[in-house]
Amino acid sequence: MPELPEVETTLAGLRPSLLGAKIVRLVVRERRLRWHIQSGLESKVRGRTIIAMRRRGKYMLIHLDRGGLLMHLGMSGSFRVILANTSKNTGGNTAIETHDHYDLITDRGDIIRYRDPRRFGCLLWASGDPTQHKLIRTLGIEPLNLEFNGKYLHHAAKGRTLAVKNLLMNGKIVVGVGNIYAAESLFDSGIHPARGCHRISEQRYQRLAESVQKILNQAIQQGGSTIRDFAAADGQPGYFAQELMVYGRAGAQCHQCKTPIRNITLGQRSTFYCPKCQR
């Protein structure tokens, strides 16, 4: 499932083709995504210029010279960029496949093709500033911003009794720390995922905030190497395997202490941790 680093990487992969370009056509083949692609969206975006692109949580916000678009990759979404010179030769990699639900075609001749087998992604219209869309303005803070720190987390935990991992995955508190990155950050900061969030000092929360930022930044940097493939339209979504310390490693030895990694369920999500390194 695409997480914050993959969304960041996707945006970086799309930027060279989309930023500053004019949308000449939107072709929708399947409207039934997580939310229906509204009828008439094609005419709303036609002729609009893309003036800014940014990530907010796991949404990609496309600012147009009037209005904007919200895109989300859902569980299985990915984009393929078919550059103008590629589409001239009718090579097999430009063929439309079953799960290719929409295309954005720019005045540069590039085709941005969205694929999503499970259809949990979205393409929504924002009539004004996309950052003010109702789905966006209620989101928690960004984990890579300065305001995400020990003080913030410690304050957010006050009066709550839930497990720290569930606090970290609550999108109203902080956005985009998915299951993998929550597990890895808790390991990195030595905090047990099931520990009650009210039983953690501000100092330990500061360490946790720094771990979250370190691990997300590493993933984004590693993603950088896939951008080239992405732009070459090889159809690969540009996700990347990071070296994971605990996630998916149940029963395997902890890289630090050799204790077997454990797997429990927290908030209906599989949770991996080292019982010795994490308290």
What's the token pair of residue 82?
């078919």
With respect to Zn ion, which residue has the nearer C-beta, 168 or 261? 261
Separation between Cα atoms, residue 129 and residue 247, nearest integer Å? 37
Residue nearest to Zn ion (CB): 254
CB 246 within 8 A of CB 184: yes
Cβ atoms within 10 Å of 190's Cβ, excluding its own: 15
Catalytic residue chosen out of the listed positions 55, 56, 58, 249? 58
Looking at the Cβ atoms of 171 and 275, the one nearer to Zn ion is 275
CB of 161 to Zn ion, least distance (A): 26
Beta-carbon count within 10 A of 219 CB: 21
58 has catalytic annotation: yes
Cβ proximity of 139 and 56 under 8 Å: yes
Residue placing its CB nearer to Zn ion in the complex, 164 or 274: 274
Annotation says 2 is catalytic = yes
Q: Which is nearer to Zn ion, 122 or 277 (CB)?
A: 277
Q: State the residue for tokens 């990487």.
A: 9
- Is 16 annotated in the active site? no
* Least spacing, CB of residue 202 vs Zn ion, in Å: 25
Phi, psi angles (nearest 5°) of residue 52: -160, 150
Residues that bind Zn ion (CB under 5 A): 254, 256-257, 259, 274, 276-277
Minimum Å gap between C-beta 196 and Zn ion is 21
Cite the active site residues: 2-3, 58, 269
